[in-house]
Structure formats: C-alpha cells, structure tokens
Amino acid sequence: MAPTHLASKLSKMRQDIYRFVYAKEKLQYAFKQTKLHRFDIEDLDPYPGLFMRKSVGRRAFSYIILSAVKDIYRREVFSNLALINEGIIKAKRYARKNKARWFGFQRLWPNFMQEIKEVEFEKVLTKIE
C-alpha cells in the first residue's frame, strides 16, 4: 500500500490527466461542430492551452516517467508507472466516450434553469425556523 502522501500525489496527477485529456477532447469535438466558433488552442495560453495541445498525452507520460525515476529506489515506482494505464489510457478512453454527452448536457442546461425559475420554492420547501 502506498503511503498517504504518495496516494494523494498520484490521485492529483490522475485527476489532472483526466481533466486535461477530457478538456482537449471536448474542444476537438466542438471544433467539428458547424455552429461553434473555432479558435486556436494557443489563444488559451499559457493556461490551460499548454496542457490542451495534441501533446497532452506525451506530457503526461513524461511527467509520470520523471516521477517514477524520482521514486526508483522505493516501491512507489510501480504506483507511478501504473498511472500510464490508469491515467493516460483510461482517460483517453473516457474522454472519447463522453465528450458528446457534455455538449448534450450544455444544450439542456437552459431548459433546466427555466424550470427552476418557474418553481415556487415557498410551496415546495419546508421553512426552517
């Protein structure tokens, strides 16, 4: 079992990888939609543009390898290397599967907000005294 500080570090690395891979996939999907305005990823520099280029997978891989090298003399090296599958490969699979769902949700969001505006909360909620 990895020490708590390492588990926390690995968890944060995994979350970052998922976030940037997913954001990149959503943007690429958005650019293929005819109704959406196209812009260059460089327009998002320095953050998050740097992390959303095509090289996001290579950057994540490099970072994982560097972290593993840092931990080479400890058992944590294997936990770092597991992020290659857990972080990069699964993140890409997740992003490709779910990118279109995000845009579907975005289309429905205004309807949700309109429904919420029309709710008379004093009739629905119990007053707390």
pLDDT 10s digits, 68-114: 787 777 777 777 778 787 778 888 899 889 888 887 887 888 888 88
Other CB atoms within a 10 A radius of the CB of residue 27 amount to: 18
Report the C-alpha gap between 105 and 21 in whole angstroms.
19
- The domain limits of the chain are 4-99
Task: Calculate what percentage of the chain has a pLDDT beyond 70.
Answer: 90
pTM of the predicted model, to two decimals? 0.66
Report the C-alpha gap between 51 and 127 in whole angstroms.
47
Lowest-confidence region among 12-21, 51-60, 120-129: 120-129
What does each C-alpha distance from 97 to 12, 56, 58 come to in angstroms? Answer: 22, 18, 20
- Predicted pLDDT at 13: 83
